Structure formats: structure tokens, C-alpha cells
Amino acid sequence: MADFTDTLTDKHIAFIEKQPVYFTATAAADARINLSPKGYADSFRILSDNQVAYLDLAGSGNETHAHLAADGRITIMFCAFDRSALILRIYGRGRPVLPQDDEWDVLAAHFTLLPGTRQIFVIDVESVQTSCGWGVPMMELQHERDTLQKYHRQADRALWVEKTLGRTKSIDGLPTRPTDRFIEGETA
């Protein structure tokens, strides 16, 4: 049986902090649904019981940005892959915050910035749902992939910015607002 709350509880927060992976889903009218897995232990933050945020590194597309700019709706899902079966979904409205935005410094202070950080997504929580998760298989985490961070660490900064500035539309033609700077990151 599913349980709904209007905000994150201490129990929800403790569960979220233990999860090594989460999934984000967004959609805009007449656009494809975008569903993305997210990792990196330091990429998700709970700002309050009704607001969360996560780091977004540059990748092959920018669908979440386009969808949030067009519609704002987002679902974030965490699920336990260990013995403690549980699925937790955060339903909310999100927005992208880029390094050139006024809000950036305040939000970025909550994170250890990773090389190639493109933006931070801020989500206002509308509701939280938990369900049993008994159908989720049990798996064991080996380690985080370091390929994306290695790629960004080795990137030519000028080419990276040029490539990013060229990505101004989603796969469905929705506009995006690219970042104009490369984030070196705080990791070695």
C-alpha cells in the first residue's frame, strides 16, 4: 500500500541518504518522456523538508532542462536494492539553475562541485510517496563509474564550452539555456 505525505520526513531523508542511485523523470506536452539514472554520492541534496536539489553534469543531452523550463514537472525515484525493500518517489516542480544565474553561488555551496557540472536542478516538493518495493531485485553496489568525471577532467575547456553553447534544443526541439562556463570541480 502506498503512503503519501506533503513533505519529506526524517525517515524519508535517512532512506534517501543511503541510496547510491536515483532516477529522474520529466515530460513536457507533446514531447518524449525523459527518464534518467543518476549517480555520484555527492550529487543530491535535501535543502529542506519541501525542497531538494541535484547536480547535473554535461552529457549527451539536456532533456531535463528543456522539460523543466517548459513544464516544471519532475518525479525523482529512489529504491532500495538491499534487503530493506522500499520505493520512494518525490513529485514536484523543478527549475534549472546555471553557473551564470544569481542563485548559483548559494546553491553551489551545498555541493562538492564535480568536473563538468553544468547546472543544479532545484525541486520544490509537492508530495512524497512510499511503496513496498518488493518487486525490486536485490543487487550489490560495486563502485561508482568514473568515466564521466575523467572525461570532463581531460576536456579542453574552450571546446567544452563551445559544444555546450551549441546545445540549445532538446531532441523534441524545446529550447534549453546552456551554461557559458566550465566548472573545474573540487575533486582530484
pLDDT at 60: 78
Query: Does pLDDT of 187 surpass 50?
Result: no
With contact defined as beta carbons under 8 Å apart, do 114 and 57 qualify?
yes
With contact defined as beta carbons under 8 Å apart, do 123 and 53 qualify?
yes
The two beta strands, 22-26 and 117-131, are unpaired
Q: Confidence band (pLDDT; 50, 70, 90) for 188?
A: very low
Q: Confidence band (pLDDT; 50, 70, 90) for 96?
A: very high
Q: Residues 58-68: what's their mean pLDDT?
A: 91
The answer to which of 24-28, 36-40, 57-61, 67-71 has the lowest mean pLDDT is 57-61
Structure confidence by residue, pLDDT tens digits, 14-35 = 999 999 999 999 999 999 999 9
Sign of CA dihedral 155, 122, 99, 65: positive
DSSP 8-state assignment for residue 71: T
| Cα distance between residue 149 and residue 63, in whole Å | 20
pLDDT at 173: 94
Taking the CB of residue 133, how many other CB atoms lie within 10 A of it? 15
For the chain, give the mean pLDDT.
92
Domain 3-165: top CATH class: mainly beta
| Cα distance between residue 143 and residue 115, in whole Å | 18
Q: How far is CA 99 from CA 13, 82, 105, 176, in A?
A: 27, 36, 8, 14
The answer to which of 25-34, 36-45, 68-77, 143-152 has the lowest mean pLDDT is 143-152
Output 31 or 138, whichever has higher pLDDT.
31
Domain definitions of the chain by residue range: 3-165
